[in-house]
Amino acid sequence: MKPPQGLDAAFEDDPHGVRELLRGLPEPGPMRAAVSDRIEQALAAERSGARSTPTTSTSSDEDAHADIRELLASQPSPGPMPDFVAKRITVALDLERKAQADHDPTGMRDLLRGLPEPGPMPQPVFEKVEHALALEQSQRGERPDNVAAFASRSSSTSRTSREGSGGRRGVLRLTSLAAAAAVAGVVAVGGYQAMQPSAPGVNNAGPASSSSVNPDVASKVHVTSSDRNYTAASFVQDAGALARSDASSGISTADAAKLGSVATPQGALQCAAAIGQGVLDDSSRITVDIAKYEGKPALVVVVTKGTTSTGWVLNRNCDQSQSPVAGPTQV
């Protein structure tokens, strides 16, 4: 079998269709004698080493460019590009643009490249971020197990980190974007938890200061955590049993640490205020069960006045402006 010759040999695999593209062009015709002579002279000079040292003469470069222009001008016009060749080129360009877009589909990389370098974080911004994180840490208090604590550090360590050589500079290497993301993350976590009444044991709004709680009313509060699943069908029976139960033992220290401040009489009373402070003040006993209602975390509050007990169901986020999930229901 005769081996491929010419274009067939040069583009035997031809994965990009170059061979077909070249075949679609008109025949250039025989090479002019002047062109052939120049090529032969150039090859002979190359073999003899006459052109081993590249020239840097500007005039020589200009002469070479003029020769190239003259050479191209002497060639016949190739004519219009065949339609199938134009279509192939168009398809190839579209594929290239799509491949580039796949690496940055949103254009964010180009957007960020156009932004100026933020530089080091200003000291006032750094201090505000640090203060916000410390404030968030202090407001968590007794946190549930599924919330990770911020890493604490002593004030001396913090001061040394800022005042020591290179310490502050190392911290300030965080860009402004990273700092904003950190603060946004804190705000987002807090906002997300505030919208999730199903988060077990999370008291996002947190009870108000214990100084605003009437100690006489707080002494009537009994808090328990039965993890019972109250339902609308069984609420009267189950809440009635809660009202008659002995909850004086309260909640163990370990469980209270997991549930947060809502496990304390003061915290539970602040959460129960959503049913009306007057109702709580006129009661003889207030029983709060940290449990579930229809499968979702909730606070079941039973207020007893004399021989009458009334039950409510509240979301566990302790928002005093909330409306009860269920109740009032006499139990």
Q: Which residue has the higher pLDDT, 3 or 40?
A: 40
The model scores a pTM over 0.85: no
Q: What is the predicted pLDDT for the residue at 105?
A: 67
Question: Among 91-105, 152-166, 202-216, which stretch is predicted with the lowest mean pLDDT?
Answer: 152-166
CA distance 234 to 121: 58
In this model, does residue 230 exceed pLDDT 90? yes
Share of the chain above pLDDT 70, in %: 65
Residue 301 is predicted with a pLDDT of 92
pLDDT tens string 13-46: 666 677 777 777 777 777 777 777 888 888 888 7
Does residue 207 surpass a pLDDT of 80?
no
Confidence of residue 156 (pLDDT cuts 50, 70, 90): very low
Q: What is the pLDDT of residues 57-102, one digit of tens each?
A: 556 667 777 778 788 777 777 778 888 888 888 888 888 877 776 6
Higher pLDDT among residues 43 and 296, named by residue: 296
pLDDT at 4: 56
For the chain, domain boundaries: 1-25+81-98, 123-194, 210-330
Mean pLDDT over 182-197 rounds to: 47
Residue 210 in this model has a pLDDT that exceeds 60? no
Instruction: Give ∠ CA 56-62-65 in degrees, rounded to 5.
Output: 115
Contacts of 167 (CB under 8 A, 6+ apart): 160, 161
Average pLDDT over residues 310-326: 84
When mean pLDDT is compared across 1-10, 162-171, 210-219, 224-233, the lowest value belongs to: 162-171
Residue 74's pLDDT is what?
A: 79
- For residue 300, report the phi and psi dihedrals to the nearest 5 degrees: -100, 120
Q: What is the mean pLDDT of residues 290-297?
A: 90
What is the average pLDDT across 49-55? 54
The per-residue pLDDT for 281 is 86
